[in-house]
Amino acid sequence: MTNGQRPSPSSIIEKQTVREDVNDDQQPVATSSLGNDPTALMTLREDRLIDASPPLSGFLGSTSYSAVFTEGQSHIIIEDNNLSHETNNRGSQPSKLPSWDSSKVMEGAEILTLLAGLSRYEAALNQWYKVQCLATITHYIRECIALVPPELKGSHVRSKSLVNLSHKVFLRTSTPCSLDVKMSLREYPSFLMGENFCWEIVGLMLTALGLSAISMDEVQISDECDSQTNWKDLALQLLRAGDQCMVFCEQFGHLKDIGVTLILMNFILHTQVYGDADYHCWRKSGDLTTALFALGLHQEPKSELPFFLAEIHRKLFWFAYMSDKNFATFFGRPPMINGKYCSCKMPLDLEDSQLALEGEALARALNDLDPEGWNPNSVAGNASWLRVSFISTEFREEILELSLGAGTDDLDERARSLKERLRQSEESLPLKLRDQPDRWVLERTVAENFFLLSKHLDFMYNEFLIERTLVKQLRVSPTKLVTVSRSLLSSILILTGNRHRQGWYSNDLPWLIALYALPPAGVLALELLHHSRSKLQANYDFPRSEIIQKLSNLISSIDFIVRPTNGNFIICGQAKKMLQAILDTVLSPEHHQSEDEQAEPAAALDTLVEEAYDDQMWLNNNLDMDFWTSLEEHPLLAWPELPENL
């Protein structure tokens, strides 16, 4: 399926054999081990209403319509039970929820058939959980999958059981759940897979498998799994099933924290299947932001939450915050999450296994942390890398304000201050994260190499964005921008040059190329054109040969790494085409003709070139998708003509 071809959610599930052998007037019987309360089941008639507690309005801040009453609630004696109930739920909603008909239940049963294949792909899922930082907010899902009843994992699942279970999942989804403050992470999967089994959990399990499937497709590893599996098709099928689970959840008018987790995971899978430039991904980014604020996850978690869940909430917020800033940078659009309104602290430098600790063991782990929340004695793992990424992302918000904001007062001074604070921030990181690698160190683990290089890319890219802003808005010399671009591209090429050592980590390379490699490559390519056409000597030592080699290396890396099934294949393909055209232009024999041999068209080109130099047009373009598609019209590429078969 190509980008933009999206079927409706109701038609997306690959049809499985599920007989509709339960009539509308027949009372279903629960046969699943996920619950044994047949009295809770109701008939599937369209005119029935489901009794449930009022859906929550969500997080309400100090300026909300109910703030005056809730802040003074301790001084108010409420006699009306209904009023008390509504106040405690931070707003009133209709006490009746719309019913669902049997066709919805049948759709749910078809989705549940996908659970039968989970055990078949367990090896792929386990590998994904080992290397992907995103898995740190859903590590409990792996335990949930292990708790799926055996009767749902077989190839011959009873259709009546699936229909009954589907109806029961709808009932569970319609009711908000509450947690015991003393609940542990070990107990959490059983809590989710028991009486609280809902469509959010089903969607999370299928989406996690979809993310692992797309990773299998990218790294082309099939030793541990079925070598005949079409991983991209599987990921697409699971993505559609996750979409449908979200549709089921939205009809009930309330939001759960696992629902926000599903929105985040679904958004990430959409970007990997359809590409970051797809409009639906931008919309889903907005949905994630809306859900985040509605549930109050931008605020510090409340003290009554279990410790592990409070940490998961922090990671969930910061993942969404980081995704928002990366997407805003990628598109050159204003970010949707403003950090000035957010008080959620960064998660602690604790690995997933430590979140399951209790009592004295947990106290010892917390005592190992310094006042800033770092564990200076541990190796650089997922938790450490996430914290570094979050710190870098906080600076990104300020940089986006400089680059995209309307005000340009004191831009030079603000940029200088921002660069200094950025440098100090990187230098103040724990010793284990302070290295600025210029090569792949064989003595380090793959994870350490990958994390340290990624960290360095984050900070360098922030500096790159600052320098581009100064060149565009203040017309300063591009010397520093070219220097940063060279360093940034060199670090990317270290990663791409060692892709054979990275295993599952190489799944991130297409995204890293799209975000970190294409913008500096565009700067260097156009600067290369500028110097190759200019009759004047450069006012600094321009490394022409080095830049040509790096751009050639990047073109080769795109060919090997960004496969046609990757969501960002089109963007990277456009960039590769234009980089090849620029190199062909620079290296062509016609380009080196003497002035006496050049005809009048060349003189006309010189006029265009001089105008382009005066306005610094070659650096004023936004280096996004439109930049690469419109680059053919750039005056420096007006002659000779671009090859049509690139």
Residue 86 pLDDT > 90, yes or no? Answer: no
Strands 50-51 and 96-97: antiparallel
Residue 157 pLDDT > 70, yes or no? Answer: no
**Pairwise pLDDT comparison (416 vs 438), residue with the higher score:** 416
- Name the DSSP letter for residue 7: -
Residue 16 binned pLDDT confidence (cut-offs 50, 70, 90):
very low
Residue 34 pLDDT > 50, yes or no? Answer: no
**Pairwise pLDDT comparison (228 vs 557), residue with the higher score:** 557
Give residue 150's pLDDT: 72
Give residue 617's pLDDT: 45
At 512-547, the pLDDT tens digits run 898 899 999 999 998 888 887 765 455 557 788 999
Give residue 341's pLDDT: 93
Give residue 594's pLDDT: 43
Q: Which residue has the tokens 């940034």?
A: 488
Q: Which of 22-26, 208-212, 504-508, 581-585 has the lowest mean pLDDT?
A: 22-26
Give residue 540's pLDDT: 59
**Pairwise pLDDT comparison (550 vs 604), residue with the higher score:** 550
Long-range contacts of 249-254 (CB under 8 A, 24+ apart): 249/173, 249/198, 249/199, 249/200, 249/203, 251/97, 251/98, 251/100, 252/52, 252/55, 252/97, 252/173, 252/174, 253/55, 253/93, 253/97, 254/55, 254/56, 254/93, 254/176
Give residue 284's pLDDT: 94
Give residue 91's pLDDT: 32
Give residue 93's pLDDT: 40
3-state secondary structure of 163: helix
State mean pLDDT over 179-200: 89
Residue 570 binned pLDDT confidence (cut-offs 50, 70, 90):
confident
- Name the DSSP letter for residue 90: T
Q: Which of 128-132, 206-210, 301-305, 630-634 has the lowest mean pLDDT?
A: 630-634
State mean pLDDT over 323-347: 92
Residue 610 binned pLDDT confidence (cut-offs 50, 70, 90):
very low
Give residue 30's pLDDT: 32
Beta bridge partners of 50: 97
3-state secondary structure of 97: strand
Phi/psi-derived region of residue 149, left when phi > 0, alpha when psi is between -120 and 50, beta in every other case: beta
Q: What average pLDDT is seen over the chain?
A: 76
Distance CA 61, CA 502 (A): 45
Q: Tell me how far CA of residue 560 lies from CA of 233, 287, 459, 573, 593, in angstroms.
A: 21, 34, 26, 12, 35
Give residue 483's pLDDT: 93
| pLDDT winner (highest mean) among 388-402, 532-546, 573-587 | 388-402
Percent of the chain with pLDDT over 90: 34
Give residue 405's pLDDT: 84
At 444-491, the pLDDT tens digits run 888 888 888 989 999 999 999 999 999 988 888 888 999 999 999 999
Residue 624 pLDDT > 60, yes or no? Answer: no
Residue 326 pLDDT > 60, yes or no? Answer: yes
Distance CA 269, CA 274 (A): 8
Percent of the chain with pLDDT over 70: 70
Angle at 132 between CA 145 and CA 552, to 5 degrees: 140
**Pairwise pLDDT comparison (43 vs 365), residue with the higher score:** 365
Residue 550 pLDDT > 70, yes or no? Answer: yes
Residue 561 pLDDT > 70, yes or no? Answer: yes
Stretch (H or E) spanning 326? helix 307-331
Give residue 382's pLDDT: 81
Give residue 613's pLDDT: 40
Answer yes or no: are the C-beta atoms of 295 and 61 closer than 8 Å: no
Give residue 164's pLDDT: 87
Give residue 587's pLDDT: 86
State mean pLDDT over 497-508: 81
Give residue 55's pLDDT: 41
Long-range contacts of 554-559 (CB under 8 A, 24+ apart): 554/489, 554/492, 554/493, 554/496, 554/513, 554/517, 554/521, 554/579, 555/579, 555/580, 555/583, 557/493, 557/496, 557/497, 557/513, 558/513
Distance CA 332, CA 171 (A): 43
Residue 6 pLDDT > 60, yes or no? Answer: no
At 270-314, the pLDDT tens digits run 998 888 888 999 999 999 999 999 999 999 998 888 999 999 999
State mean pLDDT over 496-524: 86
At 216-248, the pLDDT tens digits run 755 554 444 455 567 788 889 999 999 999 999
Give residue 423's pLDDT: 93
Give residue 548's pLDDT: 93
* Other CB atoms within 10 A of residue 602 CB: 15
Residue 171 pLDDT > 70, yes or no? Answer: yes
Residue 400 pLDDT > 80, yes or no? Answer: yes
| pLDDT winner (highest mean) among 58-72, 82-96, 162-176 | 162-176
pTM of full prediction above 0.85? no
Residue 556 pLDDT > 80, yes or no? Answer: yes
Give residue 369's pLDDT: 94
Residue 153 pLDDT > 50, yes or no? Answer: yes
What CA dihedral angle connects 346, 350, 353 and 354, to 10 degrees?
-110
